[in-house]
Amino acid sequence: MSHQRKLLTTTLMSLSLAAGGVLVTAPQAQAGGVHGLRCGKTWMKELDTSGENIDIEYANCIGWTQTRFRAEGSGRVLDGGGARKVDAFIVEMRVDRGSVTVQRSRCNFTKRVNAQDVANIDCNSKAVIGRKGLTGDSRIYIDLDSDGRGGKWYNLAGSGLA
């Protein structure tokens, strides 16, 4: 992702979250196009670990430029790092049309969450060509270290229709 696109996406995501997840658009740097971003409600979760608890914040969005769409996720894990916290921490991003998944990508953040006190966990799907009616959906798989329970998938709120 270009620096300009990343800056625009971050700015739009912040504006969208501040506006309660509503659609925000801005002129595209290239002539003749519009960027769009629609985000769902920010997911927040605190999990007990053998050391400090970890706090997770994640926003799930659908981003587009004309006919290219992708699921865009942005978030962070706080109080990770130091002692081992998780055996697995995986974010799955999906572009869906209704109940059908059109594109799926997974990002593994296990090492980052265990190594850093504040870990960015931004993850994007690959772009798909399509028309309106797509959503960005995601889930996060977390397996806490030494809790004896195994891992669990957490389904996050969808982005709403693009």
Give tens-digit pLDDT for 2-37.
433 443 344 444 444 444 444 443 333 333 345 889
Cut 0.85: pTM above it: no
Domains held by the chain: number: 1
Q: How far apart are CA 51 and CA 57, in angstroms?
A: 19
Instruction: Please give the distance of CA 51 from its chain centroid, rounded to a whole number.
Output: 26
Provide the 3-class DSSP secondary structure of residue 22. coil
Q: How far apart are CA 79 and CA 113, in angstroms?
A: 9
Residue 81 belongs to a domain? yes
Provide the 3-class DSSP secondary structure of residue 19. coil
Residue 161 belongs to a domain? no
Domain CATH number, residue 82:
2.60.40
Quick one: tokens of 111? 């090492």
Q: How far apart are CA 36 and CA 30, in angstroms?
A: 14
Residue 19 belongs to a domain? no
Residue 80 belongs to a domain? yes
Catalogue the long-range contacts made by 99-104 (C-beta closer than 8 Å, 24 or more residues apart).
Answer: 102/128, 102/130, 102/134, 103/70, 103/71, 103/127, 103/128
**Looking at residue 2, what is its pLDDT?**
40
Residue 151 belongs to a domain? yes
With a cut of 50, list the residues of the chain below it in pLDDT.
Answer: 1-33
**Looking at residue 162, what is its pLDDT?**
82
Inter-residue contact 142 to 92 (CB < 8 Å): no
Residue 116 belongs to a domain? yes
Residue 2 belongs to a domain? no
**Looking at residue 53, what is its pLDDT?**
83
Degrees, nearest 5: CA angle 162-43-79: 135
Q: How many residues does the chain have?
A: 162
Catalogue the long-range contacts made by 24-31 (C-beta closer than 8 Å, 24 or more residues apart).
Answer: 28/65, 29/4
**Looking at residue 3, what is its pLDDT?**
37
**Looking at residue 85, what is its pLDDT?**
85
Chain mean pLDDT for the chain: 79
Q: How far apart are CA 61 and CA 111, in angstroms?
A: 25
Query: Domain limits at 112?
Result: 41-155
Residue 122 belongs to a domain? yes
**Looking at residue 81, what is its pLDDT?**
55
**Looking at residue 52, what is its pLDDT?**
76
